[in-house]
């Protein structure tokens, strides 16, 4: 069960192009949309930014971050620790031509840095395909019976300490 939940989370994360990355700025949170540079397993998400961007300074001061992903009937919310990575080989590996808008010097732009988010906690909701049909049926039944809809396997799950740990719960 644990590996299938991690696999499902990985597949969901890989299906998103953008996320709202949330950093901490003093006593408030600061959210902004970010293009997803890459996903490695269920425990690492990469973004690209500039060394001088406010988010970089916020990460230097407080590595705790959150990110939310949404597309149609799929959602992921995660928490983790961010790290600025200036490894030129990794930048070369993840480089996308569309980044040239922000980094006119390309892969060698000295201001370009990656943000590696190591996921510590993630929660997902997936109401696509057969899961979506089951959810629609359960929602209709809940309206008639005045009870909460039953969530099927793979529709909703939570994985704590994604990097190496097992899920704490699959259904809520």
**b/e map 93-111, b = 16+ CB within 10 Å:** ebbeeebeeebeeebebee
Which are the contacts of 160, defined by CB distance < 8 A and separation ≥ 6?
120, 121, 167, 168
Structure tokens at 23: 């950093």
Host domain of residue 146: 2-160
Residue 111 belongs to a domain? yes
H-assigned helices in 15-168: 54-61, 88-94, 129-145
Residue 171 belongs to a domain? no
Residue 170 belongs to a domain? no
pLDDT value, residue 62: 97
pLDDT tens, residue by residue, 41-92: 899 999 999 999 999 999 999 999 999 999 888 999 999 999 999 999 999 9
Query: Is-contact 99 46, C-beta < 8 A?
Result: no
Which CATH number do you get for residue 116?
2.30.110.10
Residue 168 belongs to a domain? no
pLDDT tens, residue by residue, 82-128: 999 999 999 999 999 999 999 999 999 999 999 999 999 999 888 77
Which are the contacts of 54, defined by CB distance < 8 A and separation ≥ 6?
25, 30
Structure tokens at 38: 């890459």
User: How many domains, in total, are found in the chain?
Assistant: 1
Residue 135 belongs to a domain? yes
Query: Is-contact 59 84, C-beta < 8 A?
Result: yes
Please classify residue 28 by burial: count the beta carbons closer than 10 Å to its beta carbon, then call 0-12 exposed, 13-18 middle and 19+ buried. Answer: exposed
Residue 172 belongs to a domain? no
CA distance 75 to 83: 24
Residue 136 belongs to a domain? yes
Q: Which of 16, 80, 70, 72 is nearest to 43 (CA)?
A: 80
Q: What angle do CA 110, 111, 116 make, to 5 degrees?
A: 110
Confidence of residue 130 (pLDDT cuts 50, 70, 90): very low
pLDDT tens, residue by residue, 132-163: 434 443 444 444 555 554 555 555 566 766 65
pLDDT tens, residue by residue, 11-25: 999 999 999 999 999
Residue 55 belongs to a domain? yes
């Amino acid at each position: 069960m644990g590996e299938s939940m991690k696999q499902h989370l990985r597949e969901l994360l890989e299906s998103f192009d953008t996320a709202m990355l949330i950093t901490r700025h003093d006593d408030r949170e600061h959210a902004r949309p970010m293009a997803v540079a890459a996903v490695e397993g269920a425990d690492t998400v990469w973004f690209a930014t500039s060394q001088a961007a406010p988010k970089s300074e916020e990460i230097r001061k407080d590595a705790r971050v959150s990110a939310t992903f949404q597309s149609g009937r799929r959602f992921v919310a995660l928490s983790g620790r961010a790290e600025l990575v200036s490894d030129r080989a990794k930048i070369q590996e993840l480089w996308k031509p569309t980044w040239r808008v922000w980094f006119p010097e390309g892969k060698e732009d000295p201001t370009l840095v990656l943000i590696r988010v190591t996921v510590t906690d993630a929660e997902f909701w997936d109401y696509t395909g057969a899961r979506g049909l089951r959810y629609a049926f359960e929602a209709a039944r809940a309206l008639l019976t005045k009870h909460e809809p039953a969530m099927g396997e793979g529709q909703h799950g939570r994985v704590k300490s994604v990097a190496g740990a097992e899920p704490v719960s699959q259904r809520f």
